[in-house]
Amino acid sequence: MLEQRKVAKVLNTKATIEGAGVHLERAFGYEEAPLLDPFLLLDDFSSNNPRDYILGFPWHPHRGIETVTYMIDGTVSHEDSLGNKGVIASGDVQWMTAGSGIIHQEMPQEFDGAMRGFQLWVNLPARNKMMHPRYRGVKKEHIPVWKGKGAAVRIVAGSLENITGPVGDIVASPSYFDISLEAGVFWEFAVPKGHKALAYIFEGAVCFSENDAEIAGGHLVIFSDGDLVRAGGAHRERGGRFLLVSGKPIGEPIAWYGPIVMNTKKELEKAFKEYQSGSFIKHKIKK
């Protein structure tokens, strides 16, 4: 018999300022990361005031992680040390493997209306920390949508009903679903047993059992282990919309400071020394 995952913990977002002055809500980060292996951080950057985000995230380094940026509404310009340059527009996804080291910038553009996006950091195991950096941009039209009665799921990564999302080859083998449920509609979503699973509600409200209290937008849910997540739209008018993310835990020590995540303090110190000395980038820029 399949085991339904229970709500183990609910976290409130924390108002945070990052980059050159971007106001965002942090669903989880450094303090909560031990509970969410292999995930390190999830930021919700949303505002209808350009002053909250226009200064963006100027050039900065990453090493030892992968990032997934998902834009709901708005536009972010991206450029990196591999020579990649492009725009993440409404509905698009950017997947970046920092690996041995990448330097990039992400600059939100002024948007007519409420801008909203998410960035998820996924840890890399020790054997992959110094892998070759790589980048992939996925356009909205290449992200499949599964539809059921009163439900719609954008499949960024992982599979649902034999439909597979375009973001693949991430070391943690994650699933990343953007799920919309009408009021009172319940569906079950398979999650591999042993994988860490979390949900971030960002519109309306959601129940994760008919007998559970509704959880409103701006909250993160951490689930117990099991085979599936059962969820229902709980807001009387808007139902609920949330990210459902799962991945295989790594189970290794973390040494983390700012944008760099390694396994030991010595590796972390080396990374920052290399950044300061100009030897951080280990792979050549594309010609």
The per-residue pLDDT for range 212-230, each reduced to its tens digit, is: 899 999 999 999 999 999 9
Which three-class secondary structure state does DSSP give residue 252? Answer: coil
Binding site annotation covers 274? no
What is the spatial distance between Cα 271 and Cα 19, in angstroms, rounded to a whole number? 20
pLDDT over 70 (residue 186): yes
- Write down the pLDDT at residue 156: 96
Beta strand 145-148 with 134-138 is unpaired
Q: Please determine, for residue 285, whether its predicted confidence score (pLDDT) is greater than 70.
A: no
Q: Is 195 annotated as ligand-binding?
A: no
Beta-strand ranges (E) seen in 129-239 are 134-138, 145-148, 151-157, 159-160, 163-164, 175-181, 186-190, 196-207, 215-216, 219-223, 228-233
pLDDT of residue 242: 98
- Reading the block at residue 121, the tokens are 């950091």
Give 54's contacts (C-beta < 8 A, 6+ positions apart): 108, 109, 110
CA–CA distance, 256 with 233 (Å, rounded to integer): 37
| Whole-prediction pTM | 0.95
Average pLDDT, the chain: 95
7-277: which CATH topology? Jelly Rolls (2.60.120)
Q: Which of 27, 18, 37, 243 is nearest to 123 (CA)?
A: 37
Q: How confident is the model at residue 270 (pLDDT cuts 50, 70, 90)?
A: very high
127: pLDDT strictly greater than 60: yes
Report pLDDT for 168. 82
Q: What number is the average pLDDT over the span 112-140?
A: 95
Measure the CA–CA gap between 281 and 285, rounded to whole angstroms: 9
- Say if residue 104 carries a ligand binding annotation: yes
* pLDDT confidence bin for 1, thresholds 50/70/90: confident
pLDDT confidence band for 21 (50 / 70 / 90): very high
Element (H, E) at 267: helix 265-277
pLDDT at 4: 97
Please give the share of the chain, as a percent, with pLDDT higher than 90.
89
pLDDT of residue 210: 86
Integer-rounded Cα Rg, in Å, for the chain is 19
pLDDT at 284: 63
Q: Backbone dihedral region of 34: left (phi > 0), alpha (psi from -120 to 50 degrees) or beta?
A: alpha
Question: Predicted confidence band at 155 (pLDDT cuts at 50, 70, 90)?
Answer: very high
Contact 247, 172 (CB under 8 A): yes
pLDDT for 211: 84
214 in a known ligand binding site: no
Average pLDDT over residues 146-154: 97
Is it the case that residue 283 has pLDDT exceeding 80? no
Cα 108 to chain centroid distance, Å, stands at 17
Inform me whether the pLDDT recorded for 79 exceeds 70. Answer: yes
Output phi, psi for 9, to 5 deg: -160, 145
Mean pLDDT of all residues in 29-58: 96
Domain boundaries, the chain: 7-277
- Between 30-44, 132-146, 188-202, 273-287, the lowest mean confidence (pLDDT) is in 273-287
Selection from 186, 181, 117 nearest residue 153 by Cα: 181
* Per-residue pLDDT, 7: 97
What angle is formed at CA 258 by the lines to CA 254 and CA 264, rounded to 5 degrees? Answer: 30
Q: What is the pLDDT of residue 144?
A: 97
Residue 139 above 50 pLDDT? yes
How far is residue 196's CA from residue 233's CA, in Å, rounded to a whole number?
Answer: 22
What does the pLDDT read at residue 171? Answer: 85
Judge if the upstream peptide bond of residue 133 is cis by omega within 30 degrees of 0: no
Three-state DSSP class for residue 142: helix
Picking from 201, 187, 147, 192, the residue whose alpha carbon sits closest to that of residue 174 is 192
In this predicted structure, what is the pLDDT of residue 287?
Answer: 45
Residue with tokens 């973390």: 254
